[in-house]
Amino acid sequence: MATVKNLTEIDGRIKNVSFYTMEGSDKIILRSKGGASKYRIKNHPNFAKVRLNNQEWKGCTTLSKNIFNTLSSLFVLADYPVIGTLNGLCKMIQTKDTEGEHGARGIYLSQHKEMLAGFSPNKKRIFEQIISIALNYSIKREEMSAELTIPAINTSYQLVNDRNLSHIQFIVSLGLISDVCIQENETSYVTSNQLLTGTRVVQQSPWFSTAEEIDAQQFELALGDSFINQLTDNQSLVLGIGLQFGKENVSHQIEVVKHSGSARLLQVV
């Protein structure tokens, strides 16, 4: 349906014609619906390359979904649609596979860990701009464990609390991500170790008052001894941290304030 805002401005669609405006122009743009049909893209020889690209994109979205789900406790703090950025990042990792054929290139995070390390799900609420502290952390891959220390925080000058919220909480997550590829005798992308992928451990700090100095905090995370013997070179361990603000409700309990948090992926090994 199209809507007429005035005699010279139309916004919407009439049959197969769309009306819209573009930033930097005061004109109404018209575009008719068109393009190749799904059947033609799926079957015609002219779209062979498109089909290969579509096949590879399925692998990219599989890995990005695995990353998002495994570290969901951190990505829930995102302030933009982060899954699209993760898809693009996974595509960049896929292009690093120079041995695989087009249409079957793997997404080997395990070979390009540095491309995910440091990833932020935030564009407005940047972790380091909210809290200016030097974290100390390490992952012990052979033990599938990690340690992270948050130093003491003087909230008067090391914490940016623009909304003057009363409490803050930290979240630390250690997760395992498997590579995604087309395995031998297979025709579609699969996660290299589906049973291990998504394995994670999450710890949360108590709620701290933003009006008082916060003591140093130590986190020790371990995925469990039962997984150690199953770890292969196709898996990556990812350590990340997040923070969120809270306030007291009418029952004097602390509840999370939506759209107040931030996160950072710290290390991938």
Which residue in the block uniquely carries the two structure tokens 């992308």? Answer: 189
CA distance 35 to 26: 27
Helix H, strand E, coil C: the string for the chain is: CEEEEECCEEEEEECCEEEECCCCCCCCEEEECCCCCHHHHHHCHHHHHHHHHHHHHHHHHHHHHHHHHHCHHHHCCCCCCHHHHHHHHHHHHHCCCCCCCCCCCCECHHHCHHHCCCCCCCCCCCHHHHECCCCEEEEEHHHCEEEEEECCECCCCCECCCCCCCEEEEEEEEEEEECEECCCCCCCCEECCCCCCCCEEEEECCCEECCCCECCEEEEEECCHHHHHHCCCCEEEEEEEEEEEEEECCCCCEEECCCCCEEEEEEEC
Tell me the torsion sign for CA atoms 226, 228, 232, 236: positive
Each residue's pLDDT tens digit, 96-126 = 999 999 999 999 999 999 999 999 999 999 9
pLDDT at 144 over 60: yes
Question: Please, is 217 exposed, middle or buried when counting C-beta atoms within 10 Å of its C-beta (0-12, 13-18, 19+)?
Answer: middle
Length of the chain: 269
The answer to whether 130 and 262 are in contact (CB under 8 A) is yes
Each residue's pLDDT tens digit, 51-99 = 887 899 999 999 999 999 999 999 999 999 999 999 999 999 999 999 9
Q: Is the pTM of this model over 0.75?
A: yes
Q: Give pLDDT, residue 198.
A: 86
Nearest to 113, CA basis, from 245, 228, 235: 235
Nearest to 231, CA basis, from 193, 265, 189: 193
Each residue's pLDDT tens digit, 200-212 = 999 999 999 999 9
Q: Give pLDDT, residue 60.
A: 97
CA distance 257 to 248: 10
Q: What is the mean pLDDT of the chain?
A: 88
Q: Which two tokens stand for residue 71?
A: 């570290």
Q: Which two tokens stand for residue 9?
A: 């401005």
- Mean pLDDT of the 146-171 span: 97
